[in-house]
Structure 1
Amino acid sequence: MTGRRSVVTGVGVIAPGGGSREEFWTRIVGGKPAIRRISVFDPAPFRSQVAAECDFDPLAHGFTPREFRRLDRFVLMAMACADEAFADSGLTREEIDHDRMGVSLGSAVGATIRLEDEYVVASDHGRHWEVEARHALPFLYSALVPASGASELAVRFGACGPAAVVSTGCTSGIDSIGHAHSLIQDGEADIMIAGASDAPISPITVACFDAIRATTPSNDDPERASRPFDADRKGFVLGEGAAVLIVEELEHALARDARIYCEITGSAARANGFHMTGLRPDGFELGEAISEALDQARLDPAEIGYVSAHGSGTKQNDRHETAAYKRALGAAARRVPISSIKSVIGHSLGAIGSIEMAACALVIERGVLPPTANLTTPDPHCDLDYIPVVAREATVAHALSAGSGFGGFQSAMIFSRFRG
């Protein structure tokens, strides 16, 4: 079906240092990192002992004790964000066609916390090879399958249209919104609840990233541990969080006089076919994704007013990403302002792409560009305008976000101011 356009009409966010959309915005614009020593378990045995934790209390968000016991943290955060986004959109459950509403939820690691906790109980801290299933919660199956996140959202909102989980590592959050955009373009849905959630701060996750030395060992000064594009960076900071957007077909939104944050004008993904954790230094595949997104949006690179960088804070990623911008944006790469909000809220794996897209929607609406915190000594190989330390005011018509993930996943998305 041709001619169908998708717009963002609602935004919900839970991120480190902010339990709502407005708290998240204040945090990233202020450039104050929400990173601390891990508090949910004793991190002393690990190389990296800091993380960006969310102060998320499910009971305070209105979930019942039964829901808290039944559902993993990543599902509860997704549901809380969806509640905020749905309310923000002005939609009402009584007026919508539930058969034309779907769900697209991204997650890299699903119910990591619940699975690990239940294994520890069932195996008595790993002492028994043959575990006693009777010691585990009866809801363990829903933790095993990442689809539980999408199904719970569908049930909560009565969404009877397409429902899917997108799991493409650290690009899951961008790709889930891209999937929603495609479904609306194809005429499969008029409303999509789209976003991503991850709650990976657990011993097994920390151990995995310790093993490949991807996370920072800078434990003495947590707030300065995440340093994208800085010469003194030592790795990324693990985080958690969620963001959900209401993505709506344009005519459907206009018919109900909805407030429109922005339009999704370009979305593309590539794989590097190169290495599980390695990146080609020339940034070719990420550059190709950006170029394809620009083509879909019918934009010249010079029209991009802001780039939300992947900016994880590893030397390999930051230099790869810089090369990709130079390849795809050409001369405009040196003029466009770029920043990484991971410097403030850490890297929440699959969730971060949706959180960064939420930031792009707010940038377009509010005309403020969040800074890259802790960028005080730029890496000479990362010689673009990465907005150090202090936010800037700027009118942005088109914002680009880029994502890069283990496994070779590379994605790009463009949000544009709605012009009618």
Structure 2
Amino acid sequence: MTGRRVVVTGIEVLAPGGIGAKNFWNLLSEGRTATRGITFFDPTPFRSRVAAEIDFDPYEHGLGPQEVRRLDRAAQFAVVAARGAVADSGVELDRLDPYRVGVTVGSAVGATMGLDEEYRVVSDGGRLDLVDHAYAAPHLYNHMVPSSFAAEVAWAVGAEGPSTVVSTGCTSGIDSVGYAVELIREGSADVMIAGSSDAPISPITMACFDAIKATTPRNDDAEHASRPFDGTRNGFVLGEGAAVFVLEELESAKKRGAHIYAEIAGYATRSNAYHMTGLRPDGAEMAEAIRVALDEARLNVEAIDYINAHGSGTKQNDRHETAAFKRSLGEHAYRTPVSSIKSMVGHSLGAIGSIEIAASALAMEHNVVPPTANLHTPDPECDLDYVPIVAREQLTDAVLTVGSGFGGFQSAMVLTRPERSLV
């Protein structure tokens, strides 16, 4: 079954400043930012007090009172996005063998907001050393086990095939989709509902990133705080969100007349086995993931029209990534437009990889490369074409999207137009 080709036929995105794939794309193509001062809690005690929050009402997006009570915010995002992706695809799941429909959900930190909120309740605001379980929400156990995300999505869409949570830090969103692609290729499923979700904007998360100074302290200018590849960058802006896709085997999708956004032509992941948060400056492990993804896609480096970068806005990551592009693409790296959408929607940890896959597919759909917002002062060590400030119209047939995560995870995915001839 290795000859099966896998395509994206449905997309739904919940992102800061743009709920729904259309609104999300409008934000990106217009170069608008959705970063602001934190409103979810009092951020006064923290070093970094800015984030990219979503204005999300679960009831407006079809969740009922029992679902709202049961589900953590990130799980709510995942369910809403899954339903939206299925609706966008037009696939009639109730006509399919449910054992041939699977789910993969990526998440870096699971039900962080729910756990943070519940701890405050059972500990009486942190005053009790021995917490009082009598005050806990009845579904608190679901917050403790990230597998509940996949279960909830499977229940929401009626999928009874393989159901998995992938948690590989900030590459979870790429890896969950990559795993789903492999399940279809090997014949274990015909349709996969795949993506990722994270809602990490909570006191505990902000404290963790404050401790290692990974997030920006640019609190007086939240709109321009996320500055990937800019010489004045000083850390990333935490975000939240979800993106979910319907993935199908190409011939089946064509047979039912589905709209096809892109083919997932290549995927690979590697680890640097080096440091929990550190990166080797030569970018070797990311370059290797890119090389293998291109080989799987049967593409030469010159075929890549656009790179959707990880682009977190930390000096270490941006320079590591730049080195990886040069190492893997050679001279073509200098001719290839690159951009980071984290400049507009922040870094939603495990969710961002899927959100960036959505951006890559939509860039192909519209033949527009989204910009890197807030890039005014180029870093001499980041000397590629980072598409500053304004989107660029460009015919785009093949996109490389990459991710880098704490723990040394490095992942790469290649999206192409399915009509491209394999060579």
Taking structure 2 as the reference length, the TM-score comes to 0.98
Secondary structure of residue in 2 paired with 1:83: helix
Structure 1: distance between partners of 2:83 and 2:12: 7
Structure 1: distance between partners of 2:153 and 2:80: 10
Structure 2: distance between partners of 1:338 and 1:409: 21
Structure 2: distance between partners of 1:332 and 1:118: 51
User: Given residue 17 of structure 1, which amino acid in structure 2 is its aligned partner?
Assistant: G
User: Given residue 333 of structure 1, which amino acid in structure 2 is its aligned partner?
Assistant: A
Q: Does the alignment pair 1:71 with 2:68?
A: no
Could you say if the C-alpha distance between residues 2 and 93 of structure 1 is closer, same or farther in structure 2, counting changes exceeding 3 Å?
closer
Please say which of residues 318-327 and 131-140 is displaced more in the overlay. 131-140
Structure 1 alignment gaps of length 5 or more = none
User: Given residue 276 of structure 1, which amino acid in structure 2 is its aligned partner?
Assistant: M
Please say which of residues 1-10 and 165-174 is displaced more in the overlay. 1-10
What residue in structure 1 maps to residue 198 of structure 2?
198
Note the 1:59-138 alignment, pairs <5 A.
59-138=59-138
Structure 1: distance between partners of 2:302 and 2:254: 29
What residue in structure 1 maps to residue 31 of structure 2?
31
Q: Does the alignment pair 1:303 with 2:281?
A: no
> What is the percent sequence identity of the aligned residues?
62
Give the number of equivalent residue pairs. Answer: 420
Structure 1: distance between partners of 2:163 and 2:225: 38
What residue in structure 2 maps to residue 323 of structure 1?
323
User: Given residue 69 of structure 2, which amino acid in structure 1 is its aligned partner?
Assistant: R
What residue in structure 1 maps to residue 367 of structure 2?
367
What residue in structure 2 maps to residue 156 of structure 1?
156
Shift of 1:164: 0.2
Q: CA RMSD in A?
A: 0.7
User: Given residue 311 of structure 1, which amino acid in structure 2 is its aligned partner?
Assistant: G
User: Given residue 194 of structure 1, which amino acid in structure 2 is its aligned partner?
Assistant: A
Shift of 1:418: 1.1
Shift of 1:168: 0.2
Structure 1: distance between partners of 2:280 and 2:85: 37
What residue in structure 2 maps to residue 232 of structure 1?
232
Shift of 1:84: 1.2
Following TM superposition, the consecutive aligned residue runs of length 4 or more in structure 1 with deviations greater than 2 angstroms are: none
What residue in structure 1 maps to residue 8 of structure 2?
8
Structure 2 alignment gaps of length 5 or more = none
User: Given residue 105 of structure 1, which amino acid in structure 2 is its aligned partner?
Assistant: V
Note the 1:280-295 alignment, pairs <5 A.
280-295=280-295
Structure 2: distance between partners of 1:2 and 1:53: 41
Secondary structure of residue in 2 paired with 1:33: coil
Structure 2: distance between partners of 1:164 and 1:130: 34
Q: Does the alignment pair 1:269 with 2:280?
A: no
Shift of 1:311: 0.1
Secondary structure of residue in 1 paired with 2:18: coil
What residue in structure 2 maps to residue 49 of structure 1?
49
Please say which of residues 88-97 and 212-221 is displaced more in the overlay. 88-97
Shift of 1:2: 2.2
Structure 2: distance between partners of 1:92 and 1:114: 33
Taking structure 1 as the reference length, the TM-score comes to 0.99
User: Given residue 157 of structure 1, which amino acid in structure 2 is its aligned partner?
Assistant: V
Shift of 1:126: 1.4
What residue in structure 1 maps to residue 410 of structure 2?
410
Structure 1: distance between partners of 2:166 and 2:322: 27
Maintained 8 Å contact 2:104/2:180? yes
